[in-house]
Amino acid sequence: MKVAKNRKMRLANISIVALTGCVLVAAGWYCLSIVVPTSKADTSSTVSRNVQISAAEPLETPSEGGTLKSTLASPLPTNATKTKGNTETNIETHMEAKESAPITNSAAVQPVIAENINQLLEKPKMENAASPKAAVPHTGKLVMLDPGHQRKGNNAPEQVGPDGQETKPKVSSGTVGVLTKKPEYVLNLEVSLLIKQELVRRGIEVAMTRESHDVDISNKQRADLSNEAGAALTVRIHADGDSSPKTKGFSVLYPSPAIASIEPIAADSKKAAVLMLEQLKRTTGTAGRGLSARSDLSGFNWSKVPVILVELGFMTNPEEDELMSEADYQQKLADSIADGIEKYLATL
């Protein structure tokens, strides 16, 4: 009897334990059915909010715009709308990444967006890479270059000026290099073309009385060309000659104020001559022969615009004759004459 009673008690205990287990399992399942949907709903809400922020603030920036990109949420994977399985894993991974880099709200992002767009639209600043002699426009300030002489002279008489009856040959072919045998009219044009090139590079308007040797233009006609063009300055280019082979050096000539017709342009002409001489001295490192006022030159006396004449040197001096045919020295002369012209134009 005792054995039977104990067996009944054991079965009763087992039943109680089993029932309790069932109750616990049922309670657990009930709790799980309540908690899981709520969690999924919260997650979906968070994801939805993140997607709305990204969609409300679209911005395409160049790869250099790393700072702006780091403030915005990285886009969700394209499969984020799928259910269960890998989708929840992708969403959780995305949410963890979001926690490590908090989302900046729209109000905070807007200044950054505006700043970056302004930077993209701003025009680049151009640097001036030109040399110290960079082009400077001189609007309305024409310079007339007059390379002296021509291949064939014209000995027909021409009145020296409007104030007298004296005449001179219209134009000659000039002197000749004692060693180089180069005609002066060739040297004058060589240097004048270099001056023109330099003036054009600086933005200065230039005209020339001749660019060929085969012309027939008198000294008065050359002055007339400058007058008609309304030149701000005429620069006549010549080389000198002398009976002594020792005579050398450049000089700058200007019209004498003693001539009545010259008086209106006398002061400006002398000013240009002074500036020209200073530049020739500085560039060549020599003193030259200085300034000379002349009243016997047709090209001066018929001029109605400021005019000067540069004597480059003496072709009758062996050393200077060769020097004036060297390319480097010719460029040096051209640069210094262009400097003198530019300095004069700056005073107008």
3-state SS of 75-119 is CCCCCCCCCCCHHHHHHHHHHHHHHHCCCCCHHHHHHHHHHHHHH
| Residue-level pLDDT at 27 | 66
Q: Give the burial class of 22: count Cβ atoms within 10 A of its Cβ; 0-12 exposed, 13-18 middle, 19 or more buried.
A: exposed
Strand partners, 236: 146, 309
In whole angstroms, give the CA distance from residue 211 to residue 261: 29
| Residue-level pLDDT at 68 | 35
To 10 degrees, the CA torsion angle through 135, 269, 230, 142? -10
Strand partners, 145: 208, 235
In whole angstroms, give the CA distance from residue 37 to residue 214: 104
Contact between residue 160 and residue 166 where contact means Cβ atoms under 8 Å apart: yes
In whole angstroms, give the CA distance from residue 121 to residue 126: 15
| Residue-level pLDDT at 75 | 40
In whole angstroms, give the CA distance from residue 174 to residue 154: 11
**Tokens 């702006």 belong to which residue?**
68
**Tokens 């060309």 belong to which residue?**
225
Query: pTM, whole model, 2 decimals?
Result: 0.62
| Residue-level pLDDT at 78 | 40
Contact between residue 195 and residue 145 where contact means Cβ atoms under 8 Å apart: yes
| Residue-level pLDDT at 212 | 97
Contact between residue 324 and residue 184 where contact means Cβ atoms under 8 Å apart: no
In whole angstroms, give the CA distance from residue 274 to residue 279: 9
Cα 261 to Cα 143, 223, 257: the distances in Å are 21, 13, 9
Beta strands in the chain (DSSP E): 143-147, 154-159, 167-171, 206-208, 233-240, 251-255, 291-294, 307-314
Per-residue pLDDT of the chain (348 residues; tens, 9 = 90+): 555 555 666 666 676 766 776 667 666 666 555 544 444 444 444 433 343 333 333 333 333 333 333 333 334 334 433 333 443 334 333 333 334 444 344 444 444 434 443 443 343 333 333 333 434 455 679 999 999 999 999 999 999 999 888 999 999 999 999 999 999 999 999 999 999 999 999 999 999 999 999 999 999 999 999 999 999 999 999 999 999 999 999 999 999 999 999 999 999 999 999 999 999 999 999 999 999 999 999 999 999 999 999 999 999 999 999 999 999 999 999 999 999 999 999 999
| Residue-level pLDDT at 33 | 56
Strand partners, 154: 171
As a whole number of Å, the end-to-end CA separation of the chain is 141
To 10 degrees, the CA torsion angle through 225, 229, 232, 234? -20
In whole angstroms, give the CA distance from residue 217 to residue 170: 8
| SS3 category, 174 | coil
